[in-house]
Amino acid sequence: MASTSPGYGITIRVEGPPSSQPVALATAVITGAGATITALDVVESLLEKVVIDITCDTIDSAHAEDITVALAKNQDLTVRKVSDRTFLLHLGGKIEVTSKVPLKTRDDLSRAYTPGVARICQAIVDDPADARRLTIKRNTVAVVTDGSAVLGLGNIGPAAALPVMEGKAALFKRFADVDAWPVCLDTQDVDEIVRTVQLIAPVYGGINLEDISAPRCFEVERRLRELLDIPVFHDDQHGTAIVVLAALRNSLKLVKKNLSEVKIVLSGVGAAGNAIARLLVLNGAKNIIGFNHHGVITNEMKSEDSMQQWFIDNSNPENFSGNISGAMKGADVFIGVSAPNVITESDAASMAPGAIIFALANPDPEIDPVIARKYATVVATGRSDQPNQINNVLAFPGIFRGLLDANAHTITDKLLVAAAEAIADCVSPEQLNASFIVPSVFDPNVTKAVAAAVKKSV
């Protein structure tokens, strides 16, 4: 059975007569149905009834419904209410704006607003660079999306993308004390996206592009970098690539292999896959065989998109033309940023000794990690309920903290590599093992180390 997850956590209020021992009865039903109980509270205990709140993690929405039905079918239990804990967390949104200064007296208002604020405006007129010193610009990032490639949900639009962008902003604040704000655009036209971001850029010290589908995301990023004097970072590309490089660097240490000598099979050559390949090649990788939904990428192919053409020119050195199962034979590394169940158990079994599998599709990976661990020495996923989570939050908070502190204007490949090395080095030789190839996202040293590496690289 698949693993339960807090992302599908529910709280069920049930009641039953004391004679039926409802606590024991309800917990037996819930655990028997495969859920993981995380909390239990007796809300009310009377002679005629006992009321209990049971919080549990389930596998998915259907599983949660199955558990509710199983409880309701028991004649000694009554289900009074079911609360979805994830929906409750999102009620009213996850972020807010608060004032950094007191606004309690006329004196406060006179300085924070009129007439005093006019002096600050005039100072910026006299010296535009003062905008960074005297406004929120120095610590503020726009999280920009068009809603065209959100998580594994696809093109769901800007309104449905907002919960993800809110979450991103919350992560910026939690891990790097960066003030970020969602900017969800109701257009998927490249010209309109670029022009809109250009127009709002004066407020921000950096732009984080998020969940914009390939190949448009490449052009949006390129044009904005040319137009703006603040750093533009597409997290789905570069954040993922940085953490993959860090994880692979440590994994290869464990299996005693060199990046320049390993055979890598890459499933998914969109924004993330292309960026991963570029960073791996920059660090010495020479044999990457890429697959998209049409099949293998071969040398004869041509693309009008420069990023895709780069991948064609820099991958598949022996011009392999078979399917992914054929490519997996003897492969040292599999990296998936594509879709569920792309490779099979026999594919994993056919890999070289000391194999490494990064199955990063979310929420369902390219292969069940339990099966992958039967054959691979190191297995990583994008899930928080599995060891070795390849999570962009290891990268982007520290990267923007460093960029903002350095008043940086551009992002370079040198900077991306430095960030990856900083993440990898947060795992000491004593800590490094097959289940711990990257640090915890809650390790306070990660953001500091990445920020320092970025500042040094600017």
Give the active site residues: 113, 168
CA angle 399, 152, 436 (to 5 degrees): 55
Q: How many helices (H) and strands (E) does the chain have?
A: 18, 14
Six-digit token pair at 423? 């993440």
Q: Report the amino acid identity of residue 446.
A: V
Q: Report the amino acid identity of residue 291.
A: F
**Cα gap 293→96, rounded to integer Å:** 40
- Contacting residues for 233 by C-beta, under 8 A, at least 6 apart: 206, 207, 208, 209, 239, 396, 399, 400, 403, 411
CB count in 10 Å sphere of residue 75? 8
**Cα gap 235→403, rounded to integer Å:** 14
CB count in 10 Å sphere of residue 317? 11
The answer to whether the CB of 124 falls within 8 A of the CB of 130 is yes
- Per DSSP bridges, beta strands 295-296 and 288-292 are antiparallel
Question: HEC states along 107-171?
Answer: HHHHHHCCCCHHHHHHHHHHCCCHHHHHCHHHHEEEEEECCCCECCCECCHHHHHHHHHHHHHHH
The answer to whether the CB of 205 falls within 8 A of the CB of 240 is no
User: Which residues pair with residue 183 across a beta bridge?
Assistant: 144
HSE at residue 42, side-chain half, CA atoms within 13 A, is 11
**Cα gap 328→314, rounded to integer Å:** 19
- Contacting residues for 124 by C-beta, under 8 A, at least 6 apart: 130, 131, 134, 135
**What is the full DSSP assignment across 73-92?**
HSTT-EEEEEEEHHHHHHTT
